[in-house]
Amino acid sequence: MNNNIFELNNVHLSYLGRHPALCGVDMTIGSGEKIAIIGANGTGKSTLLHLLDGLVFPHQGQVKAFGQVLNEEFLRDEENSRAFRRKVGLVLQNADIQLFCPTVREDIAFGPLHLGFEQDEVQQRLKRASASLGVEHLLDRVPYQLSVGEKRKVAIASVLAIEPEVIILDEPTAGLDPATIRQVIDLILEANQRGKTIIMATHDLHLVEAVADKVYVFSQEKKIVRSGAMEEILYDMTFLQEHNLIHAHNHQHHHQVHSHPHQHFGHRHE
């Protein structure tokens, strides 16, 4: 029995037949893994996440999810799509897109409700998800008037309420303050300990260091240039610099200017 969750084989995808977004991606993601996808802007990270969530489909190559080919035809079947969407949850980068309901309560309940759970079960999940993010006090608020951090927490809660096996996150820490970032990291780690597979795209190398055990690096050619264990990639300065993941900057020490790669990670938290 093979416990691979996703298998991507030479995946190509382009928008409107003109703009290439992914050019030949191979990937295998196993159950319980913590994957980070890094790469400069415009390297196809978000597209890949949408692909894994069954929102866009390859024009060439194949995506397999839970051992089955994931394509439009497969998801058109209501049973299949419901089973798949109960197992995979995606937290979008833009919380204003993710939160489209008139109240926070409805936003968190939207997933379970539309995935066919009973009203009682929906209420239970609403309670659990909002408690795990500490957003119970926001339930009757309108999502558009929340702060950036609150929005992000509610967005994550709206996916956790589905209680999926795989949690996909697009830039989960962008624009958050350090305390909230820490909260998000703990939450991801805790979910992983309960057996959830984590896949995230990010620019935040601290987050990668704190969470990921495997890293994929995407290049401007919109494919994977390197993959491997977190330590192996994150401590290879020359490689990271080459792919615009870190930048050199100048420091002044006692009136002497010297330059070194910008690096604030590398010190593991105890």
Contact between 94 and other proteins (CB under 8 A)?
A: yes
Among candidate residues 106, 108, 88, the one with its CA nearest the CA of residue 153: 108
Contact between 119 and other proteins (CB under 8 A)?
A: yes
Query: Could you tell me the smallest distance in angstroms from the CB atom of residue 83 to other proteins?
Result: 11
Contact between 85 and other proteins (CB under 8 A)?
A: yes
CA distance 47 to 29: 17
CA 79 vs CA 119, 129, 211, 218, 269: distances in Å: 19, 25, 33, 34, 44
Structure tokens at 89: 């949850």
Of 7, 38, 65, 105, the one binding other proteins by CB under 8 A: 105
Query: Could you tell me the smallest distance in angstroms from the CB atom of residue 191 to other proteins?
Result: 17
Considering only the stretches 26-34, 112-120, 210-218, 227-235, report the one whose residues sit in contact with other proteins under the rule CB under 8 A. Answer: 112-120
CA distance 267 to 198: 23
Contact between 136 and other proteins (CB under 8 A)?
A: no
Contact between 80 and other proteins (CB under 8 A)?
A: no
3-state secondary structure of 59: coil
Of 42, 121, 144, 186, the one binding other proteins by CB under 8 A: 144
Structure tokens at 41: 């802007």
Of 59, 62, 69, 142, the one binding other proteins by CB under 8 A: 142
Find the distance separating the first CA and the last CA of the chain, reported in whole Å.
37
Size of the site for other proteins (CB under 8 A): 40
Which residue(s) pair with 269 in the sheet?
Answer: none
Contact between 201 and other proteins (CB under 8 A)?
A: no
Contact between 162 and other proteins (CB under 8 A)?
A: yes
CA 238 vs CA 40, 201, 234, 258: distances in Å: 15, 21, 10, 17
Contact between 172 and other proteins (CB under 8 A)?
A: no
**Cβ atoms of 11 and 60 closer than 8 Å:** yes
Query: Which residues are at the interface with other proteins (CB under 8 A)?
Result: 16, 50, 53, 55, 78, 81-82, 85-86, 89-90, 92, 94, 96-98, 100-103, 105-106, 109-111, 113-116, 119, 122-123, 140, 142-145, 158-159, 162
